[in-house]
Amino acid sequence: MIEPMRTFVLRARAAPVDSGKLLASIGTDAHPEILAHVLMNAIFVAQSHRDDVVVYLVLESTADYSRTLRFEPRAMHELGGFDERALLAKVAKALDTSRGMGKEETRPVEPGVTVQTISFERLVQQLAVDHQLFVLDRKGTPISVQTFADQPCFLLTDHIPMPKKTFGSLERLGATKLSLGPRMLFASQCVVLIHHALDQG
């Protein structure tokens, strides 16, 4: 029997894979703080954290390979706080660990955190094997009427919309368009609404 697990993937197209540049770009057009906000809302609840979540952050502003950071809260020994600075420090540590990696390599960063040099497209191809894929779209199926299997995976983006060609490839992988309402929301707000909807079940 598959253990229920919620997976969130944030495609951060403007986020630098160099840790120094990432931290220096807080508050600029790159908006790396989005990474921290998604982690915060995906992982933490009041005075605790969720064990049934996996979060992938895919940072794409790079001269070589995207960096895909995987966070599994139930395996993490030390979450280090949920403020923006603490969470971005974890992201920066993972990026430092990734220096010198070749294509499609994986390295452990600390318990519950790994870094891979794989693209968003490749990651989603892997997840499609055993996850129910959802991509957010205002014209998609309302979340209130959508049924979910044990392994839903939600594909989010930063302030830069997904390219139109990506929607075609996601559709071929079986992704369902999911609507959270008529307004465009921050990825971190989407995470909260998705958690809330699934918690009702």
Alpha-carbon distance 78 to 94, whole Å?
A: 14
Does 47 reside within a domain? Answer: yes
Alpha-carbon distance 107 to 26, whole Å?
A: 26
The total number of structural domains that make up the chain: 1
The predicted structure's pLDDT at residue 78:
76
The residue segments making up the domain with residue 95 are 6-199
pLDDT digits (tens, 9 = 90+) for 23-38: 999 888 888 999 999 9
The predicted structure's pLDDT at residue 2:
63
Determine if the pTM surpasses 0.85: yes
Beta bridge partners of 191: none
Does 1 reside within a domain? Answer: no
Does 181 reside within a domain? Answer: yes
Q: Which has the closest alpha carbon to 42: 187, 180, 200, 179?
A: 187
Does 147 reside within a domain? Answer: yes
CATH of the domain at 72: 3.40.1280.10
pLDDT digits (tens, 9 = 90+) for 92-138: 999 999 999 999 999 999 999 999 999 999 999 999 999 999 999 98
Is the confidence at residue 161, as pLDDT, over 70?
Answer: yes
- Name the residue type at position 78: E
State whether residue 120 is helix, strand or coil. helix
State whether residue 162 is helix, strand or coil. coil
